[in-house]
Amino acid sequence: MPQGSAPSTRSRPTVLIALAAGFLALRLGLLAYDARHPPRDGGLVNWRSAEGAEAAATAEHKPLLYDFSADWCGPCRQMEREVFADARVAAIINAGYIAVRITDQDSTLAGTSVRDRFDLDSLPTLLVVHPGTKSPWRLQGYHGKRRTISFLERASRALQAGDDQ
């Protein structure tokens, strides 16, 4: 350093670069691992398509549970593994709801019409809707097993009492 000149303030952020590169590499590795190890398809819930689901809900006097998901969506896969593959939760859903899964690949008229009607903009999204009520119960994103179960129970209780959200 020449005499009298100020020391440089621009040192290379080596630690930050290493951290950023390391986390990025780990992220890509985990994404690749996740893609190679998909959850068991469908879990234990009796999912059906959107076609005729509303008529079935009306006939059976049950609310509809819409699950909007996608293969590439990490939180959707986590919800599949932790919630829908749990026998107790699956029993609650199968007994109390008409469960409908709509993926981003679903291009059927019924599927796209449901997506448009509920203004879907985030995955995963769970919607509980009774054919007779105006507004659905909505849970956007995956917030863990306990909160998802709590949402399903609250929505079910409220719909039985005739409340909209």
Partner 1 sequence: MIGSVVWALMCATWRERLSRPLVIGIYVVLCASQVMMAVAGRELSTPVLAITLIFGAGIVGRDVSSGTLALVFTRPVQRSTYVIAKWLAAGTAASGLSMTTVVVQAVVLASRGAGVPGAEIVDMLAESLTLAFGLSSLVVLFSVLVPGIGDVGLWLLLISLGQFAGSRVPLRVAEEWRALLLPSLTWSATLGSSPVAWLPLVSYASTVAGCLCLATLAANRKELSYASG
The residues that touch partner 1, with contacts defined as CB under 8 A, are: 6-7, 9-13, 16-17, 19-20, 23-24, 26-27, 30-31, 34, 70, 72-75, 78, 82, 104, 121-123, 141-147, 150
Q: Closest approach of Cβ 164 to partner 1, in Å?
A: 13
CA distances (Å), origin 108, targets 49, 72, 113, 115:
9, 20, 8, 11
Q: Which is nearer to partner 1, 57 or 68 (CB)?
A: 68
In sequence order, the 6+-apart residues with CB closer than 8 A to the CB of 112 are 106
Q: Which is nearer to partner 1, 34 or 54 (CB)?
A: 34
Q: Closest approach of Cβ 51 to partner 1, in Å?
A: 21
d(CA 83, CA 21): 33
Q: Closest approach of Cβ 114 to partner 1, in Å?
A: 14
d(CA 138, CA 64): 12
d(CA 65, CA 98): 6
Q: Which is nearer to partner 1, 69 or 129 (CB)?
A: 69
